[in-house]
Chain A
Amino acid sequence: MARFDDQLAAVEAGDSEARGITRRGFLIGTMAGTAMMAFGLSGTAGAASDSASQSLTAGRYEPTIWYAIGPDGIVTVHITKAEMGQHVATSLARLVAEELEADWSSIEVVYVDSDPKWGYMVTGGSWSVHQSYLPLSRAGAAGRIALIEAGATLLGVDPAACHAREGRVISGDASIGYGEIVAQVGLERTFSEEELEKIDLKPVGERRVLGTQGGALDVPAKVNGEAIYGIDVTVDKMLHARPVLPPTRFGSRPVSVDDSAAKQVEGYRQTIELDDPSGVCQGWLAVIADNTSAAMRAADALKVEWQRGDSYAITEADIQAQGRALVASPSRDNGGLFVDIGDASGVLEDAGRVVDSTYTTSSVLHFQLEPVNATVVEEDGHWHIHCGNQQQSLAVNMLAKALEVDESRITLHQYYLGGGFGRRLYGDYTVPAALAAKALGRPVKMLFTRPDDTRLDCVRSPSVQRLRSALDASGRVLASEHAAAAGWPSAAMAPAFLAETVENGGKVDAFAISGADHWYDVGAQRVWAQQNHRVHEVFVPGYLRSVGPGWTTWAVEQHIDELALAAGADPAEFRLGLLKAEGRNAGQAPHSIGGAERLKAVLNRAMDKAGWADRDNLPEDVGMGVALTFGQERHMPTWVACIVRVRVDRGDGTITVERLTTVADAGTLAHPDGAMAQLEGSLLWGLSMALHEGTEYGKGKPEALNLDAYTPLRMHQVPEMDLEFVDSDAMPVGLGEPGTTVVAPAIANAVQHAVGVRLRDMPMRAESLKAAL
């Protein structure tokens, strides 16, 4: 089974090897009066010849300083993750503060730039808190130990007689603040990797920060206009640019450019053709002006004759036809096996009763509200890229190819992201800005208009999935085969993230198939991931909030309902029967401890809250449907049950979600208020994609380019919501994405319950339902 952790570790290892860095041990030293808490380099912790402070001061190593304590007691936590609405800095700082026994009011955060010492920089996959939990908790604990030791010496007592609380080392009535300790004696301590791993984290009952209420650090600046996003950056002498995108993503080129009308725009300077050795910008132009408005208006006035790339003729229907062909006869030529348990094909062949269904999803836009942009300045041969970005390490790599300079000559400076949702995992938008700055020899700020942004968007690939399952006479599931065809984001952007198949040889994009490896016991099981190459001819398929589970859950959770109906069973009871915490579904400590039992528990709780028992007594044309998800990946399961009640208008086919009930078990909540915001936002994203979003690719671009045609959920479309987290002290898992996946299948199942029509294509449009009625 593919593990995203392993893939990320492999990417990180490759990255670190190239730079000669391994993160062993933990180094606490004092530099310029400030205590630095750093993960050291290989051998650092064991190098007896130098003190930690000597190593730090000499710059002999390039340590990754995760946090520092100043003589004023201020604890500065370095944040390597993108702040895009998930309040990640607050969660990560809470991890440190908990074990450090810091005073929360003394915590400050700094969002770091793309210095390679931070390792592979990526914010996605709902990974941040889960993956940071142990390292940052241990880093905090190591700091506390060092502070207690130093503090005890200053107090003239035995460290064993001391404890730390709210930024002070305390022994009986005497105490000393962290800042005073740092100011008076500094800190000097190293921990080997082994010692670090042996540190016992605080018992759950003694937690004072994790799981408690409290605000997010980034909120105050976001209510008074002070928060700075990429779009807000200004640098001296910068020119403004707007890209002119060719009619297709690949293979177009401008034949002639007439800027005579553009010249009438005050502030217009020139139009340049971008020469991109990296191949990101094929046939692009950039309009250069003195200000944003002039760049926008001049680009509109530009007359360009294009030679179009071949993909101009490929439509979404062509893409989906290819997808249908792939799932009809999946093969190793176009992907591979993601799950293979028992002889699913054999059982299906011999089965008396087979439920065979095909599900589709259409293209979905990120539509992060801040259009992509970047400001680029070159100084003494070093390129400074100012923007909000979710995968700095990849962007730097792309920029190095485009600018034909070494990666060491590029630094990305991070800002608040006006929405990420996976869009800014791909730094393609930084490339044209850098190329323009290079061509002009001046700083350039390039801003995409909304339609520009949509045309460059790495949209969520359309998908086609076929599920076939065999039932015996008693309604027991004997076997299930699932084939999913879509564009593969990792293949398009970051092939290092491709995963091994479960067979010898071959790769699959786990991000495009995760979710199909669900926790239901369906007997023999086979899952095929198929790469739809037509997608890749037309655009770059992207990671969009929840990625693959966004479509696999749509199919799996409807299919389970279809099986329940075929078996004559209640869909929720049927699910409970398929969830057994045994064998591969038993779960593993610490990440998936409890296994399928925890999914069962959230379902039971959601059924109680939603009044599932009264499901058969609902008014006419009102239905109740359920769907479950385990989030992004089996290795990091977030257990979620969602029940929706819908009302169908038979006159026009409109579906109204009246009530949405969700119970989630995400283990320990580092920042409960932020967790609730993520759950709520992700569920509404799910609702938005289910009923209000979706577009189709054609003529080289998405049909809907702006809000006049693309219609994400608005306030009046928000249903009544009843959300609950399970009180759990298990390992924290992901929260940004899991909620997005369950709402659409729950709605489809509810519509079936309400009016007997099964909608297998997402988005679910009123016209389709009306036609089916």
Chain B
Amino acid sequence: MASFTLNGEPVSVEVSPQTPLLWVLRDHLGMTGTKFGCGIAQCGACTVHLDGAATRTCVLPVSAAEGAEVVTIEGLSENADHPLQQAWREHQVPQCGYCQSGQIMQAADFLSRNADPSDEEVTEAMAGNLCRCMAYRRIHRAVKRAAEITQAREADTAGVGIFDPTRAQEVTHGQV
């Protein structure tokens, strides 16, 4: 029996302890947003948050998640309104989309630790996530944009109300 918290809800699954967390999520708990790509923790498609940290789940035995807080793409936000999800839509990041849950979860952990990253820091943080469609430039822009959105939201919450000229901006990257 494996027990942990999934997207805020306690779950228990009858499963052999060496089963990778990825397959417990996908096969046993029906959370298919997290994907299988390489099986050797090299592509990042299987990334979820384990106690807040971006973690590759294709090689992580479920026993290592015992009692942990697991958050998947399905639990990242209430209404798909996480700043990264908003930025991902604004910048029309996904092509085939298969790696994007992993990209977003990787970026969410990163931004939670670095609210105002440099270009180089974004690249370094995301270099472990393969995008076979090669949407890298949009991923990069969207991570930066999400940092802006987060800051603007925090400012709003604080009642400061700063003007954010980029917020209402239409998608412009198709124009050159």
Interface string of A678-713 (1 = CB under 8 A from B): 101100110010000000000000000011100011
B152, CB-defined interface residue at 8 Å: no
Which one of B15, B35, B94 lies within 8 Å of A219 (CB-CB)?
B94
Which residues from chain B contact A213 at a C-beta distance below 8 Å? 170-172, 174-175
Q: Would you give the shortest CB distance from A133 to chain B, in whole angstroms?
A: 19
What band does the interface of chain A fall in when counting residues whose beta carbon is under 8 Å from B? 35 or more
Closest residue of chain B to A297, judged by CB?
B18
Residues of chain B from 120 to 151 with CB closer than 8 A to chain A in the complex:
123-124, 126-140
Q: Would you give the shortest CB distance from B57 to chain A, in whole angstroms?
A: 11
B33, CB-defined interface residue at 8 Å: yes
Closest residue of chain A to B17, judged by CB?
A266
Closest residue of chain A to B129, judged by CB?
A715
Closest residue of chain A to B22, judged by CB?
A293
A110, CB-defined interface residue at 8 Å: no
A221 to B97, CA, bound (A): 9
Which of B20, B38, B101 has the largest number of chain A CB atoms within 10 A? Answer: B38
Q: Would you give the shortest CB distance from B153 to chain A, in whole angstroms?
A: 17
Chain B count of residues within 8 A CB distance of the other chain: 68
A108, CB-defined interface residue at 8 Å: no
Which one of B16, B35, B173 lies within 8 Å of A369 (CB-CB)?
B35
Residues of chain B from 65 to 106 with CB closer than 8 A to chain A in the complex:
72-74, 76-77, 80, 84-85, 88-89, 92-101, 104
A228, CB-defined interface residue at 8 Å: yes
Interface string of B143-171 (1 = CB under 8 A from A): 00000000000000000000000000011
B111, CB-defined interface residue at 8 Å: no
Which residues from chain B contact A219 at a C-beta distance below 8 Å? 88-89, 92-94, 97
Q: Is the CB of A685 within 8 A of B124?
A: no
A724 to B175, CA, bound (A): 8
A85 to B130, CA, bound (A): 15
A596 to B97, CA, bound (A): 37
Q: Would you give the shortest CB distance from B137 to chain A, in whole angstroms?
A: 6
Q: Is the CB of A681 within 8 A of B135?
A: yes
Contacts A219-B92, A707-B130, A715-B126; A371 near B36 (Cβ below 8 A): yes
A370 to B174, CA, bound (A): 27
Contacts A213-B170, A223-B104, A673-B171; A715 near B136 (Cβ below 8 A): yes
Q: Is the CB of B23 within 8 A of A292?
A: yes
Q: Would you give the shortest CB distance from A287 to chain B, in whole angstroms?
A: 15
Closest residue of chain A to B18, judged by CB?
A297
Q: Is the CB of A718 within 8 A of B137?
A: yes
A416, CB-defined interface residue at 8 Å: yes
Interface string of A529-568 (1 = CB under 8 A from B): 0000000000000000000000000000000000000000
Contacts A218-B97, A291-B27, A293-B19; A85 near B133 (Cβ below 8 A): yes
Q: Would you give the shortest CB distance from A261 to chain B, in whole angstroms?
A: 14
Contacts A222-B100, A224-B73; A216 near B124 (Cβ below 8 A): no
Which one of A267, A371, A421 lies within 8 Å of B16 (CB-CB)?
A267
A453 to B37, CA, bound (A): 10
Contacts A219-B92, A228-B32, A369-B43; A716 near B127 (Cβ below 8 A): yes
A84, CB-defined interface residue at 8 Å: yes
B40, CB-defined interface residue at 8 Å: yes
What 5 pairs across the A-B complex have the smallest Cβ distances? A225-B33, A222-B97, A85-B95, A418-B98, A85-B96
10 contacts between A and B (CB under 8 A): A215-B171, A222-B100, A224-B77, A225-B72, A292-B27, A674-B174, A680-B137, A681-B95, A684-B134, A724-B176
